[in-house]
Structure 1
Amino acid sequence: MNSSDAAAHEIRSSLFRLVRRLRQERPEGELSYSQLNVLGWLEREGPMTNADLAAAERVTPQTMMRATADLVATELISRADNPTDRRQVLLKITAAGTTLVREDRRRRDTFLAQAMASTLTPTERELLRLAAGLMDKLSEVQE
């Protein structure tokens, strides 16, 4: 394994461990991770069709329909006619959905900030902040 391959393996492994740890900060019985992702997409991007959400999450439209049906039933998202194409339905996050997704982010951000403050030196925290920008850059690479 060359040094780039070894670094890629180490970074991927570390990211997955951190993601798992952040998921543990979510209370039991809350939404599934995929449902929370749907709320996140709608909160960031605005109203979207089921097909757009499915493409964004790389799942089938049928899988997305199940996730969004539950969110509509719990009134975390709502359905509305698409003003530019009456054949389509737009999914829109509700105020309750926005509150839930923002509270979830706040809880995980608080955990991470406290963990960083208690575990890392100021230099390590700054290095990690810079690494976050590099990871964002990598996430935008198109194949």
Structure 2
Amino acid sequence: MIALSYFWLMSEKTFHIATLHRGKYMILLLIGVCIVTAIVSRLPLQEVPKILIVLCSLPLLLFLSITWSRNDSQWIVTDSEIAIQFHDKKHETLLLADIKYLRNLPRSGGNLIMIFNKRKKQPKRYWRNKLFQKDDDLNALIHVLKQQGVEYYYM
């Protein structure tokens, strides 16, 4: 029984987080709004219907830009490190001993997860997306990181 519980504590834990490439998302959304505005501005309509058309196109533009910039990730937490594997085959590893603290900043449509390193000035930033997504494992990931001794701030 003790060996089984020790094995469970030592085993790695995997969490799915719905992340996205924030730069790609912002570019796609901005380009989409510019294209729709350019097309609508050439239509022979009054100004109010043109504005309404652009405003009504925003949910579709949000959906498309999120869909095209998704970069889901798997976070694997072991006793000594966090390994993050992104859908686009990018891979990052962070040592738990090097993490100063973790900050979770809620944003409209998601979260900005910032991991501050003891040796670096700039934190690692990960954009979590909640729009048009099923629930992910962020709460379970935060719980395991707290158990590992990582300081956590929700702001």
Report the TM range for the smaller structure's normalisation.
under 0.3
Return the structure number with greater helix share.
1
Return the structure number with greater strand share.
2
TM-score (norm 1): 0.25
Q: Which has the higher contact order (CA 8 A, sep 6+)?
A: 2
